Amino acid sequence: MMVVFVPGAEAEEFQLLQSQGAVSVSAGETLTLTCSVTGLTPVGPVKWFKGSGSGRQLVYAEVGSFPRVTRAVNGSDTNFTIRISDTRPEDAGIYRCVKFKRGAGGDEEFTSGAGTVVTVSARPSAPSVSGPPSRAEPGPPVTFNCTSGGFSPRDITVTWLKNGDKLPAPQPQVLPAHESVSYNMSSTVWVSLTAGDARSQLTCQIEHSTLPAPLRATYNLSDALRVPPRLRVDTAPAAPVALNESVTFTCRAEGFYPKDASLTWLENGNETNLGKPSPLSENPDGTYTLQSSLEVKATEQRNQSVFTCRAVHDSQPPVSASETLRLSQPPAEPGKDPTSSTPDSYLSEEKKIYIVVAVVCAVLVVLVIAVIYLIRVRQRKGKSSPSVRLHEPKKSPSTAPQDSDPNNLTYADLNFDKQKKKSMRRFVEMSPQSEYACIQTGQPAATEDNLTYADLDMVHLSKAPKRPAPQPEEAISEYASVQIQRK
């Protein structure tokens, strides 16, 4: 049997019904799109498309449908309703049911429905709050970010709270601005941290049309906070202290966060030991306090020594606090001004060296003056000696005085009395060999007594080789004696 199709009659008899103008669905739900036809002619398939024009996307066909698209009534020739399961924000758009008829060159579009506008409402993902990349100290503002995504429609509200109190924050950034895809949100807030924020919380709250209640994300500010320790070093007893007394240095690191900290001791810049640490204690505001003590003996060598407590906290550069050990002066002696002198044990090494050098120099000066004085005294004694002892060489009994060897004698002029000089023949002979002086006289008058002493004006010594000298007289003698026997 042959069937004849009249174009006008076909159009008049055939109807494609797509009654849904707009449909809203939540992400994850199943979307149902209705479409039906009133007749079997013209012969050809019915298909579903998303969009329009050359860029439209095939959604359903007897061959090549979306993986999540199925027909509501399988095998029906008039009901072409489809279902899209697990809808997503990108499923939003305009869907059209289209009737095709077969022709000599293939299927040709015969008629289409008015289209159904589909919107997919997607709930935003749970917000996430991130803080600074490293811990920050109280003072300058710190940036915190809150992010959420995959929501639709675009409108969203973000609120920041610190310990329940609302914080001022700019409007969030929502991207991208395309109605067929989901949206992402990013919000930023600046917070100035304090030492008490070790127990504070920061909350990001978002509201959306798809949410029955706001979504919140909480951030503990302790994760971003660093509070350096405050160091204090005390001594017991307080300086100055008595010699050989036991002194206890106490170091307190107060109000720091986080709790990882250590204390060490240094004496004059050199590490001594760890001291005696006390258990770590937590303060009401969430910060911590650590204490360490060091006991030393106040010896003389430790006077003015500097004891330093060094704290290393949270892998940061160390902080230090110091105290100087000072010894007290001993009690002053009665009647003595305690400020007039300082015991050597309380002087610095440099002052001691200066004092020793000054004393040595003073002793040397005194010795030099004494030596010079002795030399001058001896010189004066030598100049003031009025006479020289005159020694006569020993003569043998068989030899007369006139036969003496002239080489052994040196004659000197004696100061006799003028009267006696006239009556006495004087003969002085200078010998080039002898170092001694003798006197040769003639016969004196019968009435004269022995001449015992005379002053010497001069003693002449030759350069002849030295001969053994006679035994010297006492050093204090100032006279030379000559004894002449009467004949």
CATH number of 231-325: 2.60.40.10
Q: Which of 305, 278, 315, 280 has the alpha carbon at shortest distance from 293?
A: 278
Q: How far apart are CA 441 and CA 313, in angstroms?
A: 117
Q: How far apart are CA 251 and CA 167, in angstroms?
A: 40
Could you count the other beta carbons within 10 Å of the beta carbon of residue 247? 21
pLDDT for position 282: 94
Q: Is residue 378 classed as helix, strand or coil in its secondary structure?
A: helix
pLDDT for position 105: 79
Which one is the CATH code of 128-223: 2.40.37.10, 1.10.10.10, 2.40.30.10, 2.60.40.10?
Answer: 2.60.40.10
Domains 7-121 and 128-223 share a fold: yes
pTM (2 d.p.): 0.56
pLDDT for position 337: 52
How big is the chain by its Cα radius of gyration, in Å?
A: 66
pLDDT for position 339: 46
Q: How far apart are CA 436 and CA 407, in angstroms?
A: 10
Largest CA distance in the chain: 219
Second-level CATH architecture of 7-121: Sandwich (2.60)
pLDDT tens string, the chain, 487 residues long: the values are 333 334 444 555 788 999 999 999 988 899 999 999 988 888 889 999 999 888 899 999 987 778 899 999 888 888 999 999 999 888 889 999 999 988 887 888 999 998 999 988 989 999 999 999 999 999 999 999 999 998 888 899 999 999 999 999 989 998 875 555 788 999 999 999 999 999 999 999 999 999 999 999 999 999 999 999 999 999 999 888 999 999 999 999 999 999 999 999 999 999 887 788 899 999 999 999 999 999 999 999 999 999 999 999 998 999 999 999 999 865 444 555 544 444 444 445 667 788 888 999 999 999 999 889 888 888 887 655 444 444 444 444 444 444 444 444 444 444 444 444 444 444 344 444 444 444 444 444 444 444 444 444 444 444 445 555 555 544 444 444 444 454 4
Break the chain into its structural domains and give their ranges. 7-121, 128-223, 231-325, 347-384, 385-487
Q: How far apart are CA 240 and CA 238, in angstroms?
A: 6
Q: How far apart are CA 208 and CA 188, in angstroms?
A: 18
